[in-house]
Chains A and B, each alone.
Chain A
Amino acid sequence: MIQVQGLTKTYGDVLALDNVSFQVERGEIVGFLGPNGAGKTTTMRILTGYMPPSSGQVSIAGYDVFTDSLEVRRRIGYLPETVPLYTEMSVYGYLDFCAAVRGVRERDDAIVRVLEACDIADVEDVLIGKLSKGYRQRVGLAQALIHDPEVLVLDEPTIGLDPRQILGVRELIQSLAGERTVILSTHILPEVSQLCQRVLIINEGRIVAEDTPERLTNNLQSGMRVRLQVLNAPEDALAHLRALPAVTGASTSGRGVFDVSLDAPEDGQDPRTALASLAVTQQWGLIDMRTLSMSLEDIFLQLTTTEAVAAEELAEGEVA
Protein backbone atom coordinates (compact mmCIF):
# COMPACT_ATOMS: atom_id res chain seq x y z
CA MET A 1 0.00 0.00 0.00
CA ILE A 2 2.76 2.39 0.96
CA GLN A 3 6.21 2.17 -0.58
CA VAL A 4 8.98 4.45 0.56
CA GLN A 5 12.31 4.20 -1.17
CA GLY A 6 15.46 6.14 -0.33
CA LEU A 7 13.60 9.10 1.12
CA THR A 8 15.82 12.06 1.94
CA LYS A 9 14.81 15.51 3.08
CA THR A 10 17.01 18.45 3.87
CA TYR A 11 15.99 21.79 5.30
CA GLY A 12 18.74 24.08 4.14
CA ASP A 13 21.85 22.39 5.50
CA VAL A 14 19.99 20.28 8.03
CA LEU A 15 19.45 16.66 7.09
CA ALA A 16 16.02 15.74 8.43
CA LEU A 17 15.60 12.39 6.72
CA ASP A 18 18.47 10.28 5.52
CA ASN A 19 17.73 7.56 2.97
CA VAL A 20 14.63 6.17 4.66
CA SER A 21 12.97 3.11 3.11
CA PHE A 22 10.05 1.07 4.32
CA GLN A 23 6.85 -0.59 3.17
CA VAL A 24 3.44 -0.87 4.68
CA GLU A 25 0.96 -3.52 3.58
CA ARG A 26 -2.75 -2.95 3.17
CA GLY A 27 -4.60 -3.15 6.49
CA GLU A 28 -1.48 -2.89 8.62
CA ILE A 29 -1.18 -0.57 11.62
CA VAL A 30 2.37 0.66 11.74
CA GLY A 31 3.85 2.80 14.47
CA PHE A 32 6.58 5.36 14.03
CA LEU A 33 8.45 5.53 17.26
CA GLY A 34 11.16 8.04 17.94
CA PRO A 35 12.20 10.95 20.11
CA ASN A 36 11.16 14.47 19.24
CA GLY A 37 12.95 15.80 16.19
CA ALA A 38 13.70 12.33 14.84
CA GLY A 39 11.98 12.96 11.53
CA LYS A 40 8.54 11.49 12.20
CA THR A 41 6.58 14.60 11.27
CA THR A 42 8.73 15.21 8.20
CA THR A 43 8.06 11.67 6.98
CA MET A 44 4.34 12.08 7.47
CA ARG A 45 4.27 15.43 5.74
CA ILE A 46 5.94 13.90 2.74
CA LEU A 47 3.58 10.91 2.71
CA THR A 48 0.57 13.21 2.76
CA GLY A 49 1.84 15.44 -0.03
CA TYR A 50 2.31 18.47 2.20
CA MET A 51 5.92 18.82 1.18
CA PRO A 52 8.02 17.16 -1.50
CA PRO A 53 11.08 15.09 -0.58
CA SER A 54 14.56 16.26 -1.52
CA SER A 55 15.09 12.88 -3.11
CA GLY A 56 13.63 9.41 -3.02
CA GLN A 57 10.38 7.80 -4.09
CA VAL A 58 7.13 7.52 -2.22
CA SER A 59 4.11 5.80 -3.66
CA ILE A 60 0.76 5.28 -2.03
CA ALA A 61 -1.81 2.92 -3.53
CA GLY A 62 0.33 2.93 -6.65
CA TYR A 63 0.41 6.72 -7.03
CA ASP A 64 3.58 8.73 -6.68
CA VAL A 65 3.20 11.45 -4.03
CA PHE A 66 5.06 13.95 -6.14
CA THR A 67 3.73 13.44 -9.65
CA ASP A 68 0.22 12.28 -8.67
CA SER A 69 -0.13 14.35 -5.54
CA LEU A 70 -3.86 15.00 -5.88
CA GLU A 71 -4.65 11.29 -6.34
CA VAL A 72 -2.60 10.46 -3.26
CA ARG A 73 -4.26 13.20 -1.23
CA ARG A 74 -7.71 11.86 -2.18
CA ARG A 75 -6.79 8.54 -0.61
CA ILE A 76 -5.20 9.76 2.60
CA GLY A 77 -6.76 10.96 5.81
CA TYR A 78 -4.27 13.01 7.77
CA LEU A 79 -4.24 14.23 11.32
CA PRO A 80 -1.27 16.59 11.71
CA GLU A 81 0.43 17.06 15.06
CA THR A 82 -1.20 20.47 15.48
CA VAL A 83 -4.81 19.60 14.82
CA PRO A 84 -5.86 21.90 11.95
CA LEU A 85 -9.11 23.34 13.25
CA TYR A 86 -10.96 26.52 12.39
CA THR A 87 -11.89 27.59 15.87
CA GLU A 88 -14.63 29.96 14.72
CA MET A 89 -16.58 27.19 13.01
CA SER A 90 -19.03 24.71 14.48
CA VAL A 91 -18.03 21.06 14.42
CA TYR A 92 -20.67 20.36 11.79
CA GLY A 93 -19.67 23.32 9.63
CA TYR A 94 -16.01 22.36 9.83
CA LEU A 95 -16.65 18.75 8.85
CA ASP A 96 -18.90 19.94 6.05
CA PHE A 97 -16.07 22.08 4.70
CA CYS A 98 -13.58 19.22 5.00
CA ALA A 99 -15.99 16.91 3.18
CA ALA A 100 -16.55 19.51 0.47
CA VAL A 101 -12.88 20.12 -0.33
CA ARG A 102 -12.25 16.39 -0.38
CA GLY A 103 -14.99 15.95 -2.94
CA VAL A 104 -17.35 13.87 -0.78
CA ARG A 105 -20.68 13.53 -2.59
CA GLU A 106 -23.13 12.72 0.20
CA ARG A 107 -21.74 15.18 2.73
CA ASP A 108 -24.53 14.82 5.28
CA ASP A 109 -24.20 11.04 5.39
CA ALA A 110 -20.43 11.27 5.71
CA ILE A 111 -20.69 13.77 8.56
CA VAL A 112 -23.21 11.66 10.46
CA ARG A 113 -20.95 8.64 10.00
CA VAL A 114 -17.82 10.30 11.41
CA LEU A 115 -19.70 12.10 14.18
CA GLU A 116 -20.80 8.71 15.35
CA ALA A 117 -17.49 6.94 14.77
CA CYS A 118 -15.61 9.56 16.76
CA ASP A 119 -18.30 9.91 19.39
CA ILE A 120 -18.74 13.66 18.92
CA ALA A 121 -22.37 13.79 17.83
CA ASP A 122 -23.25 15.59 21.07
CA VAL A 123 -21.08 18.60 20.13
CA GLU A 124 -21.92 18.93 16.45
CA ASP A 125 -23.30 22.45 16.89
CA VAL A 126 -20.65 23.65 19.33
CA LEU A 127 -17.97 26.07 18.13
CA ILE A 128 -14.64 24.27 17.90
CA GLY A 129 -12.95 27.02 19.92
CA LYS A 130 -15.09 26.07 22.89
CA LEU A 131 -14.18 22.37 22.85
CA SER A 132 -11.82 20.61 25.24
CA LYS A 133 -8.58 19.16 23.95
CA GLY A 134 -9.94 15.63 23.90
CA TYR A 135 -12.89 16.67 21.80
CA ARG A 136 -10.68 18.67 19.45
CA GLN A 137 -8.52 15.65 18.87
CA ARG A 138 -11.63 13.64 18.03
CA VAL A 139 -12.82 16.32 15.64
CA GLY A 140 -9.37 16.16 14.04
CA LEU A 141 -9.76 12.42 13.63
CA ALA A 142 -13.26 12.87 12.24
CA GLN A 143 -11.83 15.27 9.67
CA ALA A 144 -9.25 12.68 8.65
CA LEU A 145 -11.97 10.06 8.18
CA ILE A 146 -14.59 12.14 6.42
CA HIS A 147 -13.79 10.83 2.93
CA ASP A 148 -13.41 7.23 4.10
CA PRO A 149 -9.72 7.10 3.13
CA GLU A 150 -7.77 3.95 2.43
CA VAL A 151 -4.79 5.25 4.34
CA LEU A 152 -4.82 7.05 7.65
CA VAL A 153 -1.78 9.05 8.74
CA LEU A 154 -1.87 10.18 12.36
CA ASP A 155 0.90 12.36 13.77
CA GLU A 156 1.07 12.00 17.56
CA PRO A 157 -2.66 11.41 17.90
CA THR A 158 -2.63 11.32 21.70
CA ILE A 159 -0.23 14.15 22.45
CA GLY A 160 -1.42 16.61 25.06
CA LEU A 161 -4.39 14.53 26.18
CA ASP A 162 -5.07 13.38 29.72
CA PRO A 163 -4.85 9.62 30.43
CA ARG A 164 -8.58 9.04 30.15
CA GLN A 165 -8.75 10.86 26.82
CA ILE A 166 -5.70 8.95 25.62
CA LEU A 167 -7.44 5.65 26.24
CA GLY A 168 -10.50 6.90 24.39
CA VAL A 169 -8.53 8.02 21.34
CA ARG A 170 -6.58 4.76 21.26
CA GLU A 171 -9.74 2.71 21.34
CA LEU A 172 -11.09 4.89 18.60
CA ILE A 173 -8.03 4.34 16.41
CA GLN A 174 -8.25 0.61 16.97
CA SER A 175 -11.91 0.53 16.00
CA LEU A 176 -11.27 2.67 12.93
CA ALA A 177 -8.44 0.59 11.60
CA GLY A 178 -10.41 -2.28 10.09
CA GLU A 179 -9.53 -2.49 6.42
CA ARG A 180 -7.58 0.72 6.53
CA THR A 181 -3.85 1.09 6.48
CA VAL A 182 -2.77 3.21 9.43
CA ILE A 183 0.53 4.92 10.11
CA LEU A 184 0.81 6.69 13.41
CA SER A 185 3.70 8.34 15.15
CA THR A 186 4.32 8.54 18.83
CA HIS A 187 7.07 8.96 21.35
CA ILE A 188 5.28 6.83 23.93
CA LEU A 189 6.41 3.21 23.94
CA PRO A 190 3.30 1.53 25.42
CA GLU A 191 1.18 3.22 22.82
CA VAL A 192 2.74 1.28 19.98
CA SER A 193 2.51 -2.00 21.83
CA GLN A 194 -1.21 -1.42 22.25
CA LEU A 195 -2.00 -0.24 18.78
CA CYS A 196 0.50 -1.42 16.25
CA GLN A 197 1.39 -4.66 14.57
CA ARG A 198 4.76 -3.35 13.53
CA VAL A 199 7.04 -0.60 14.74
CA LEU A 200 9.58 1.46 12.88
CA ILE A 201 12.02 3.18 15.15
CA ILE A 202 13.36 6.37 13.72
CA ASN A 203 16.16 8.47 15.08
CA GLU A 204 18.09 11.37 13.61
CA GLY A 205 16.37 10.86 10.28
CA ARG A 206 17.16 7.17 9.96
CA ILE A 207 15.19 4.04 10.56
CA VAL A 208 17.25 2.23 13.16
CA ALA A 209 15.01 -0.74 13.89
CA GLU A 210 11.92 -2.46 12.65
CA ASP A 211 10.13 -5.14 14.59
CA THR A 212 6.94 -6.20 16.33
CA PRO A 213 6.15 -4.28 19.50
CA GLU A 214 6.47 -7.45 21.62
CA ARG A 215 9.95 -8.25 20.47
CA LEU A 216 11.05 -4.64 20.81
CA THR A 217 9.81 -4.49 24.34
CA ASN A 218 11.48 -7.81 25.11
CA ASN A 219 14.76 -6.64 23.70
CA LEU A 220 14.48 -3.50 25.69
CA GLN A 221 13.89 -5.35 28.92
CA SER A 222 16.32 -8.17 28.38
CA GLY A 223 19.53 -6.38 27.83
CA MET A 224 21.47 -6.80 24.66
CA ARG A 225 21.85 -8.17 21.21
CA VAL A 226 25.21 -9.27 19.96
CA ARG A 227 26.35 -9.87 16.43
CA LEU A 228 28.89 -12.63 16.15
CA GLN A 229 30.94 -13.38 13.07
CA VAL A 230 32.92 -16.59 12.73
CA LEU A 231 34.92 -18.08 9.88
CA ASN A 232 33.98 -21.74 10.03
CA ALA A 233 30.65 -22.27 11.71
CA PRO A 234 29.42 -25.86 12.00
CA GLU A 235 25.93 -26.79 10.82
CA ASP A 236 24.62 -26.95 14.35
CA ALA A 237 26.12 -23.63 15.49
CA LEU A 238 22.68 -22.15 16.12
CA ALA A 239 21.75 -25.05 18.37
CA HIS A 240 25.00 -24.60 20.31
CA LEU A 241 24.29 -20.94 20.76
CA ARG A 242 20.73 -21.50 21.87
CA ALA A 243 21.93 -24.08 24.38
CA LEU A 244 23.78 -21.40 26.34
CA PRO A 245 21.80 -20.43 29.45
CA ALA A 246 22.12 -16.66 28.88
CA VAL A 247 20.91 -16.81 25.29
CA THR A 248 17.25 -15.94 24.74
CA GLY A 249 17.29 -16.14 20.99
CA ALA A 250 19.62 -16.56 18.06
CA SER A 251 19.33 -16.20 14.32
CA THR A 252 21.72 -16.30 11.41
CA SER A 253 21.86 -14.43 8.16
CA GLY A 254 24.37 -16.91 6.72
CA ARG A 255 28.13 -16.60 6.06
CA GLY A 256 28.90 -17.16 9.69
CA VAL A 257 27.05 -14.12 10.98
CA PHE A 258 24.86 -14.73 14.02
CA ASP A 259 22.57 -12.31 15.85
CA VAL A 260 22.21 -13.42 19.44
CA SER A 261 19.90 -11.99 22.10
CA LEU A 262 21.22 -12.23 25.62
CA ASP A 263 19.83 -11.77 29.07
CA ALA A 264 20.80 -8.67 30.91
CA PRO A 265 24.01 -9.05 32.92
CA GLU A 266 23.36 -10.59 36.31
CA ASP A 267 25.51 -10.58 39.44
CA GLY A 268 28.50 -9.18 37.62
CA GLN A 269 28.60 -12.01 35.08
CA ASP A 270 28.44 -10.56 31.57
CA PRO A 271 26.72 -13.12 29.32
CA ARG A 272 28.99 -12.15 26.47
CA THR A 273 31.90 -13.99 28.06
CA ALA A 274 30.01 -17.29 27.71
CA LEU A 275 29.34 -16.52 24.08
CA ALA A 276 32.97 -15.70 23.35
CA SER A 277 34.35 -18.75 25.10
CA LEU A 278 31.91 -21.01 23.25
CA ALA A 279 33.12 -19.70 19.91
CA VAL A 280 36.74 -20.01 20.93
CA THR A 281 36.66 -23.44 22.57
CA GLN A 282 34.67 -24.88 19.66
CA GLN A 283 37.28 -23.35 17.31
CA TRP A 284 34.76 -21.54 15.11
CA GLY A 285 37.34 -18.94 14.22
CA LEU A 286 35.82 -15.93 15.96
CA ILE A 287 36.64 -12.81 13.97
CA ASP A 288 34.12 -10.26 15.18
CA MET A 289 31.74 -9.73 18.04
CA ARG A 290 29.85 -6.56 18.70
CA THR A 291 26.90 -5.34 20.65
CA LEU A 292 24.04 -4.34 18.40
CA SER A 293 21.43 -2.88 20.64
CA MET A 294 23.42 -0.09 22.16
CA SER A 295 22.22 2.60 19.78
CA LEU A 296 18.69 1.35 20.16
CA GLU A 297 18.98 1.63 23.91
CA ASP A 298 20.25 5.15 23.57
CA ILE A 299 17.17 5.99 21.59
CA PHE A 300 14.91 4.32 24.06
CA LEU A 301 16.43 6.38 26.79
CA GLN A 302 15.03 9.44 25.07
CA LEU A 303 11.62 7.89 24.58
CA THR A 304 8.80 8.11 26.97
CA THR A 305 8.63 4.54 28.15
CA THR A 306 5.81 4.59 30.63
CA GLU A 307 2.35 6.05 30.81
CA ALA A 308 3.31 7.63 34.13
CA VAL A 309 6.04 9.70 32.53
CA ALA A 310 3.68 10.70 29.75
CA ALA A 311 1.23 11.96 32.34
CA GLU A 312 4.00 13.87 34.08
CA GLU A 313 5.03 15.49 30.82
CA LEU A 314 1.47 16.56 30.32
CA ALA A 315 1.27 18.05 33.78
CA GLU A 316 4.52 19.95 33.20
CA GLY A 317 3.21 21.22 29.90
CA GLU A 318 0.11 22.55 31.58
CA VAL A 319 2.10 24.37 34.21
CA ALA A 320 4.34 25.90 31.56
Chain B
Amino acid sequence: MRNVYHVARRELGAFFVSPIAYVVTAIYLAVTGGLFGFILYYSREATLRYVLMHGVSLLFLVLITQVLTMRLLAEEQRMGTLELLLTAPLRDWEVVLGKFLASLGVFLAMVLLTSTFVIVLLRVGEPDIGVMLSGYLGYILLGTSLLAIGVFASSLTQNQIVAAVVGMGITLILWISGALGEFVGGAMESIVTFLPIFDHYQDFARGIIDTRDILYYLSVTVLFLFMSVRVVEWRRWR
Protein backbone atom coordinates (compact mmCIF):
# COMPACT_ATOMS: atom_id res chain seq x y z
CA MET B 1 0.00 0.00 0.00
CA ARG B 2 2.99 2.27 0.59
CA ASN B 3 3.75 2.02 -3.12
CA VAL B 4 0.17 2.92 -4.00
CA TYR B 5 0.53 5.99 -1.83
CA HIS B 6 3.74 7.07 -3.56
CA VAL B 7 2.24 6.65 -7.03
CA ALA B 8 -0.93 8.50 -6.00
CA ARG B 9 1.02 11.32 -4.38
CA ARG B 10 3.14 11.89 -7.48
CA GLU B 11 0.04 11.82 -9.65
CA LEU B 12 -1.79 14.34 -7.48
CA GLY B 13 1.24 16.60 -7.76
CA ALA B 14 1.09 16.24 -11.54
CA PHE B 15 -2.59 17.21 -11.51
CA PHE B 16 -1.93 20.42 -9.69
CA VAL B 17 1.07 21.59 -11.67
CA SER B 18 -0.73 21.06 -14.95
CA PRO B 19 -3.60 23.39 -15.79
CA ILE B 20 -5.97 20.42 -16.21
CA ALA B 21 -7.15 20.22 -12.60
CA TYR B 22 -7.76 23.98 -12.34
CA VAL B 23 -9.49 24.34 -15.69
CA VAL B 24 -11.70 21.32 -15.14
CA THR B 25 -12.61 22.43 -11.62
CA ALA B 26 -13.35 25.99 -12.70
CA ILE B 27 -15.58 24.94 -15.59
CA TYR B 28 -17.22 22.26 -13.50
CA LEU B 29 -18.15 24.76 -10.80
CA ALA B 30 -19.29 27.31 -13.36
CA VAL B 31 -21.57 24.86 -15.16
CA THR B 32 -23.04 23.15 -12.11
CA GLY B 33 -23.30 26.50 -10.34
CA GLY B 34 -25.20 28.00 -13.25
CA LEU B 35 -27.47 25.00 -13.41
CA PHE B 36 -28.04 25.17 -9.67
CA GLY B 37 -28.91 28.87 -9.88
CA PHE B 38 -31.38 28.44 -12.73
CA ILE B 39 -33.10 25.44 -11.22
CA LEU B 40 -33.35 27.09 -7.81
CA TYR B 41 -34.73 30.25 -9.34
CA TYR B 42 -37.45 28.51 -11.36
CA SER B 43 -38.38 25.61 -9.07
CA ARG B 44 -38.18 27.55 -5.81
CA GLU B 45 -37.51 24.19 -4.18
CA ALA B 46 -34.69 23.74 -1.69
CA THR B 47 -33.25 20.58 -3.20
CA LEU B 48 -30.19 19.44 -5.13
CA ARG B 49 -32.10 16.61 -6.71
CA TYR B 50 -32.81 18.32 -10.01
CA VAL B 51 -29.26 19.56 -10.28
CA LEU B 52 -27.76 16.14 -9.68
CA MET B 53 -30.25 14.38 -11.95
CA HIS B 54 -30.19 16.90 -14.76
CA GLY B 55 -29.01 15.52 -18.09
CA VAL B 56 -26.47 18.31 -18.39
CA SER B 57 -24.96 17.38 -15.02
CA LEU B 58 -24.67 13.76 -15.97
CA LEU B 59 -23.20 14.44 -19.37
CA PHE B 60 -20.80 16.85 -17.75
CA LEU B 61 -19.84 14.27 -15.16
CA VAL B 62 -18.97 11.86 -17.96
CA LEU B 63 -16.87 14.54 -19.60
CA ILE B 64 -14.88 15.62 -16.58
CA THR B 65 -14.17 12.10 -15.33
CA GLN B 66 -12.76 11.17 -18.73
CA VAL B 67 -10.70 14.35 -18.91
CA LEU B 68 -9.33 13.71 -15.43
CA THR B 69 -8.30 10.16 -16.25
CA MET B 70 -7.30 10.33 -19.91
CA ARG B 71 -3.73 11.33 -19.07
CA LEU B 72 -3.05 8.77 -16.36
CA LEU B 73 -1.64 5.80 -18.25
CA ALA B 74 -1.64 7.13 -21.82
CA GLU B 75 0.87 9.84 -21.04
CA GLU B 76 3.15 7.41 -19.20
CA GLN B 77 3.23 5.27 -22.31
CA ARG B 78 3.84 8.19 -24.64
CA MET B 79 6.64 9.67 -22.54
CA GLY B 80 8.27 6.30 -21.85
CA THR B 81 7.93 6.77 -18.11
CA LEU B 82 5.86 3.61 -17.92
CA GLU B 83 9.18 1.84 -18.40
CA LEU B 84 10.37 3.47 -15.18
CA LEU B 85 7.32 2.33 -13.24
CA LEU B 86 7.31 -1.18 -14.68
CA THR B 87 11.00 -1.74 -13.96
CA ALA B 88 10.73 -0.37 -10.42
CA PRO B 89 9.79 -2.90 -7.76
CA LEU B 90 6.11 -2.01 -8.11
CA ARG B 91 3.34 -4.41 -8.87
CA ASP B 92 1.21 -3.50 -11.87
CA TRP B 93 -1.91 -3.17 -9.72
CA GLU B 94 -0.14 -0.74 -7.41
CA VAL B 95 0.55 1.55 -10.36
CA VAL B 96 -3.04 1.39 -11.62
CA LEU B 97 -4.62 1.79 -8.18
CA GLY B 98 -2.34 4.69 -7.25
CA LYS B 99 -3.28 6.55 -10.37
CA PHE B 100 -6.96 5.85 -9.95
CA LEU B 101 -6.91 7.09 -6.34
CA ALA B 102 -5.21 10.30 -7.42
CA SER B 103 -7.98 11.03 -9.92
CA LEU B 104 -10.56 10.11 -7.28
CA GLY B 105 -8.93 12.60 -4.93
CA VAL B 106 -9.24 15.42 -7.45
CA PHE B 107 -12.83 14.43 -8.17
CA LEU B 108 -13.76 14.39 -4.48
CA ALA B 109 -12.17 17.80 -4.01
CA MET B 110 -14.33 19.13 -6.84
CA VAL B 111 -17.47 17.62 -5.38
CA LEU B 112 -16.57 19.06 -2.00
CA LEU B 113 -16.49 22.52 -3.55
CA THR B 114 -20.12 22.14 -4.60
CA SER B 115 -21.02 22.07 -0.90
CA THR B 116 -21.43 25.81 -1.34
CA PHE B 117 -24.73 24.91 -3.02
CA VAL B 118 -25.77 23.13 0.15
CA ILE B 119 -24.89 26.16 2.23
CA VAL B 120 -26.98 28.35 -0.07
CA LEU B 121 -29.92 25.96 0.21
CA LEU B 122 -29.64 25.88 3.99
CA ARG B 123 -29.89 29.63 4.05
CA VAL B 124 -32.82 30.03 1.66
CA GLY B 125 -34.95 27.09 2.75
CA GLU B 126 -35.16 23.82 4.62
CA PRO B 127 -33.70 21.12 2.39
CA ASP B 128 -33.99 17.44 3.28
CA ILE B 129 -30.45 16.70 4.45
CA GLY B 130 -30.92 12.93 4.11
CA VAL B 131 -31.92 13.12 0.48
CA MET B 132 -29.05 15.47 -0.20
CA LEU B 133 -26.51 13.11 1.39
CA SER B 134 -27.84 10.08 -0.43
CA GLY B 135 -27.77 12.10 -3.64
CA TYR B 136 -24.15 12.95 -3.04
CA LEU B 137 -23.32 9.33 -2.21
CA GLY B 138 -24.83 8.21 -5.49
CA TYR B 139 -23.10 10.98 -7.38
CA ILE B 140 -19.72 10.01 -5.91
CA LEU B 141 -20.28 6.31 -6.55
CA LEU B 142 -21.27 7.05 -10.13
CA GLY B 143 -18.22 9.30 -10.55
CA THR B 144 -15.95 6.63 -9.07
CA SER B 145 -17.05 4.04 -11.59
CA LEU B 146 -16.72 6.54 -14.43
CA LEU B 147 -13.16 7.27 -13.30
CA ALA B 148 -12.37 3.55 -13.34
CA ILE B 149 -13.71 3.37 -16.90
CA GLY B 150 -11.45 6.31 -17.73
CA VAL B 151 -8.39 4.61 -16.24
CA PHE B 152 -9.17 1.56 -18.35
CA ALA B 153 -9.52 3.65 -21.51
CA SER B 154 -6.24 5.37 -20.71
CA SER B 155 -4.45 2.06 -20.39
CA LEU B 156 -5.41 1.14 -23.94
CA THR B 157 -3.61 3.88 -25.83
CA GLN B 158 -0.80 6.38 -25.64
CA ASN B 159 -2.98 9.14 -27.02
CA GLN B 160 -4.92 11.11 -24.42
CA ILE B 161 -7.63 12.21 -26.83
CA VAL B 162 -8.22 8.64 -27.94
CA ALA B 163 -8.39 7.62 -24.29
CA ALA B 164 -11.03 10.25 -23.52
CA VAL B 165 -13.11 9.32 -26.56
CA VAL B 166 -12.92 5.60 -25.80
CA GLY B 167 -13.89 6.26 -22.18
CA MET B 168 -16.88 8.31 -23.22
CA GLY B 169 -17.81 5.64 -25.74
CA ILE B 170 -17.79 2.90 -23.11
CA THR B 171 -19.89 5.07 -20.80
CA LEU B 172 -22.42 5.90 -23.49
CA ILE B 173 -22.75 2.24 -24.42
CA LEU B 174 -23.41 1.42 -20.78
CA TRP B 175 -25.88 4.28 -20.69
CA ILE B 176 -28.04 3.08 -23.56
CA SER B 177 -27.54 -0.64 -23.02
CA GLY B 178 -30.84 -0.85 -21.14
CA ALA B 179 -32.71 -0.33 -24.35
CA LEU B 180 -31.23 -3.58 -25.62
CA GLY B 181 -33.16 -5.54 -23.00
CA GLU B 182 -36.30 -5.50 -25.09
CA PHE B 183 -34.47 -7.13 -27.97
CA VAL B 184 -32.68 -9.95 -26.17
CA GLY B 185 -35.45 -11.05 -23.82
CA GLY B 186 -35.38 -13.98 -21.40
CA ALA B 187 -32.66 -14.31 -18.78
CA MET B 188 -30.40 -11.96 -20.70
CA GLU B 189 -33.01 -9.24 -20.36
CA SER B 190 -32.63 -9.04 -16.60
CA ILE B 191 -28.84 -8.79 -17.01
CA VAL B 192 -28.93 -6.21 -19.75
CA THR B 193 -31.48 -4.02 -18.02
CA PHE B 194 -29.24 -4.04 -14.96
CA LEU B 195 -26.31 -2.61 -16.93
CA PRO B 196 -27.22 1.05 -17.62
CA ILE B 197 -24.86 3.11 -15.56
CA PHE B 198 -27.18 6.02 -14.79
CA ASP B 199 -30.31 4.07 -13.83
CA HIS B 200 -28.79 2.99 -10.54
CA TYR B 201 -28.19 6.57 -9.68
CA GLN B 202 -31.80 7.75 -9.79
CA ASP B 203 -32.77 6.11 -6.50
CA PHE B 204 -29.91 7.82 -4.71
CA ALA B 205 -31.05 11.19 -5.97
CA ARG B 206 -34.54 10.47 -4.62
CA GLY B 207 -33.10 9.56 -1.21
CA ILE B 208 -33.23 5.77 -1.53
CA ILE B 209 -30.04 3.87 -0.75
CA ASP B 210 -30.20 0.39 -2.22
CA THR B 211 -27.32 -2.02 -1.60
CA ARG B 212 -27.80 -3.41 -5.10
CA ASP B 213 -26.99 0.00 -6.54
CA ILE B 214 -23.95 0.41 -4.30
CA LEU B 215 -22.77 -3.05 -5.31
CA TYR B 216 -23.35 -2.21 -8.95
CA TYR B 217 -21.07 0.82 -8.86
CA LEU B 218 -18.42 -0.91 -6.80
CA SER B 219 -18.47 -3.85 -9.23
CA VAL B 220 -18.08 -1.60 -12.25
CA THR B 221 -15.16 0.15 -10.53
CA VAL B 222 -13.40 -3.06 -9.57
CA LEU B 223 -14.03 -4.64 -12.96
CA PHE B 224 -12.57 -1.77 -14.95
CA LEU B 225 -9.58 -1.36 -12.65
CA PHE B 226 -8.94 -5.09 -12.90
CA MET B 227 -9.10 -4.90 -16.68
CA SER B 228 -6.68 -1.94 -16.64
CA VAL B 229 -4.18 -4.02 -14.68
CA ARG B 230 -4.54 -6.81 -17.20
CA VAL B 231 -3.93 -4.39 -20.08
CA VAL B 232 -0.77 -3.08 -18.39
CA GLU B 233 0.38 -6.67 -17.90
CA TRP B 234 -0.46 -7.47 -21.46
CA ARG B 235 1.66 -4.53 -22.66
CA ARG B 236 4.69 -6.25 -21.17
CA TRP B 237 4.04 -9.36 -23.21
CA ARG B 238 3.73 -7.67 -26.55
Contact surface of A with B, Cβ cutoff 8 Å: 11, 45, 48-52, 70-71, 73-74, 76, 78, 80, 82-89, 93, 97-98, 100-103, 143
Interface residues of B in 47-85 (CB under 8 A from A): 79-85
Q: Whole-angstrom distance between the alpha carbons of A219 and B43 in the complex?
A: 90
* CB < 8 Å neighbour of A86 from B81, B90, B236, B237: B81
Indicate the member of A11, A45, A97, A98 with the most B CB atoms within 10 Å.
Answer: A97
Q: Which residues of chain B come closer than 8 Å to A80, judged between CB atoms?
A: 80, 83-84, 87
- A11 & B87 in contact (Cβ 8 Å cutoff): no
Q: Contacts A51-B236, A101-B88 known; A88 to B14 CB distance under 8 Å? A: yes
For A71, the chain B residues whose CB sits under 8 A away are 89
Given contacts A11-B238, A80-B80, contact A86 B14 (CB under 8 A): yes
Known: A51-B237, A52-B236, A78-B87. A97 touches B81 (CB 8 A): no
**Cβ A102 vs Cβ B88 within 8 A:** yes
Q: How far is the CA of A88 from the CA of B18 in the complex (A)?
A: 8
Interface of B: prevailing SS? helix
With A and B bound together, what is the CA distance between A11 and B236 in angstroms? 11
Q: Is the CB of B10 within 8 A of A48?
A: no
- Would you call B3 and A50 a contact (CB within 8 A)? no
Across the interface, name the chain A residue whose C-beta is closest to B75: A86
Contacts of B82 in A (CB 8 A): 84
15 A–B pairs (Cβ distance < 8 Å), ordered by A: A11-B238, A45-B83, A50-B87, A51-B238, A71-B89, A73-B88, A73-B89, A80-B87, A83-B80, A84-B81, A88-B18, A98-B84, A100-B6, A101-B85, A101-B90
The 10 A-B pairs of least Cβ separation, nearest first, read: A84-B84, A82-B80, A100-B6, A84-B81, A73-B89, A48-B87, A101-B88, A80-B83, A70-B89, A74-B89
- Which residues of chain B come closer than 8 Å to A87, judged between CB atoms? 79
Q: B142 at interface (Cβ–Cβ under 8 A)?
A: no
Which chain B residue has the least Cβ–Cβ distance from A127? B17
Chain A residues whose C-beta falls within 8 Å of the C-beta of B238 in the assembled complex: 11, 51
Q: How far is the CA of A67 from the CA of B89 in the complex (A)?
A: 13
Chain B: interface residue count, which band?
Answer: 20 to 34
**Distance A98 CA – B90 CA, assembled complex (angstroms):** 11
Complex CA–CA separation, A86 to B88 (angstroms):
15
- Which B residues are closer than 8 A to A by beta carbons? 3, 6-7, 10, 13-14, 17-18, 79-91, 236-238
Which residues of chain A are within 8 angstroms of B81 by Cβ–Cβ distance? 84-86
Q: Give A217 Cβ to nearest chain B Cβ, in Å.
A: 32
Shortest CB–CB separation between residue B33 and chain A, in angstroms? 29
- The CA-CA distance from A71 to B6 in the complex, in Å, is 19
* A17 vs chain B, min Cβ distance (A): 14
How near does chain B come to A131, taking the closest CB pair, in angstroms? 15
C-alpha spacing A49/B18, complex, angstroms:
31
Q: How far is the CA of A84 from the CA of B10 in the complex (A)?
A: 14
Q: Which residues of A contact B89 (CB under 8 A)?
A: 70-71, 73-74, 101-103
Q: List the B residue with the shortest CB-CB distance to A97.
A: B10
Cα of A303 to Cα of B103 in the assembled complex, Å:
46
A80 to B87, CA, bound (A): 10
Give the residues in chain A near B14, CB-CB below 8 Å: 86, 88-89
Bound CA–CA A103/B2 (angstroms): 9
Q: With A51-B237, A52-B236, A88-B17 in contact, do A101 and B83 touch (Cβ < 8 Å)? A: no
CB <8 Å contact, B7 and A49: no
Q: Given A45-B83, A50-B236, A101-B3, 15 more contacts at CB 8 Å?
A: A50-B86, A51-B236, A51-B237, A52-B236, A70-B89, A70-B91, A73-B88, A78-B83, A80-B84, A82-B80, A83-B80, A85-B81, A86-B14, A97-B6, A101-B89
CB nearest to B82 among chain A residues: A84
B237 contacts across to A, CB distance below 8 A: 51-52
Q: How far is the CA of A30 from the CA of B104 in the complex (A)?
A: 45
Which one of A50, A89, A103 lies within 8 Å of B13 (CB-CB)? A89
Minimum distance in angstroms from B104 CB to a CB of chain A: 20
Complex CA gap A85/B82 in Å reads 10
CA distance A51 to B7 in the complex (A): 21
B13 touching A84, Cβ below 8 Å? no
Chain B residues lying within 8 Å of A143, measured Cβ to Cβ, are 84
User: Complex Cα distance A78/B81, Å?
Assistant: 12
